[in-house]
Amino acid sequence: MTLILAGLGNPGPKYEKNRHNVGFLAMDAIARLWATGPWRARFQGLACEGEVSTPDGPVKLLLLKPQTYYNETGRAVGEAARFFKLKPTDVIVFHDEIDLAPGRFRMKTGGGAAGNNGIRSVTAQVGADFRRARIGVGHPGDKDAVMHYVLGDLAKADRVWLEPMLEAIAEALPFAAAGDDERYQAEVMRLAPAPKADPRKQARDSD
């Protein structure tokens, strides 16, 4: 069995620290922990392969960082899914989620795009029933400010929750590979508890 793990983000150094790129950061964390093979140009993106052990046996991984820009992510994910002849539930998309507070992590299967054009693009290519690993980055408070916010760099205050979360996402991965998304979500939040208060507000208050 092969499981595709796709991170949403935009290619190039200009975007690498953006909130929109936490999906790419999750792929990098997983690649480091599970000692995957080298990143190679493949499926309109950068891809590497690895394997995790589960109670039901080993699961092969394809990690994918689409290089098609965020809003066209589905082109890369769809190409990879068709190559491996996978069902939508064999695809997990890791992405930033403005409707979750910073440091929150939620798994979800199927549903709408909720205004996320990257998710909309994946849905157009593989159907809606893929699995979503939603990494909370918080909301700017004004819908007109969302684009500027997600294309802005993560703040220093975000490191407090982001670095532990990325490590937890990688460490708990065998649960997701086994198909137990509820346990995966719980384990990530156990290993990297969300801050009790918004770290951005705490940073402002300390200025």
> pLDDT tens digit string along 93-136?
999 999 999 999 999 998 888 888 899 999 999 999 999 999 99
Residue whose C-alpha is closest to residue 101's, from 143, 141, 136? 136
**Distance from C-alpha of 29 to C-alpha of 76, rounded to nearest angstrom:** 20
Please determine, for residue 171, whether its predicted confidence score (pLDDT) is greater than 50: yes
Please determine, for residue 3, whether its predicted confidence score (pLDDT) is greater than 80: yes
**Distance from C-alpha of 184 to C-alpha of 175, rounded to nearest angstrom:** 5
What is the architecture of the domain spanning 2-206?
3-Layer(aba) Sandwich (3.40)
Residues 6+ away with beta carbon under 8 Å from 128: 88, 110, 111, 112
Residue in this structure with the two tokens 């940073």, named with its chain if needed = 203
Q: Where are the domains of the chain?
A: 2-206
Burial (CB count within 10 angstroms: exposed 0-12, middle 13-18, buried 19+), residue 95: buried
Average of pLDDT values for 1-24?
A: 93
Q: Give tens-digit pLDDT for 13-67.
A: 999 999 999 999 999 999 999 978 899 999 999 999 999 988 888 999 999 999 9
Residue whose C-alpha is closest to residue 88's, from 98, 78, 97? 78
**Given pLDDT bands bounded at 50, 70 and 90, which one contains residue 200?**
low
Q: Active-site residue 20, yes or no?
A: yes
**Distance from C-alpha of 39 to C-alpha of 172, rounded to nearest angstrom:** 22
Please state the φ and ψ torsions of residue 122, each to the nearest 5 degrees.
-65, -40
Would you give the distance in Å from CA 15 to the centre of its chain? 15
Q: What is the pTM of this model?
A: 0.92
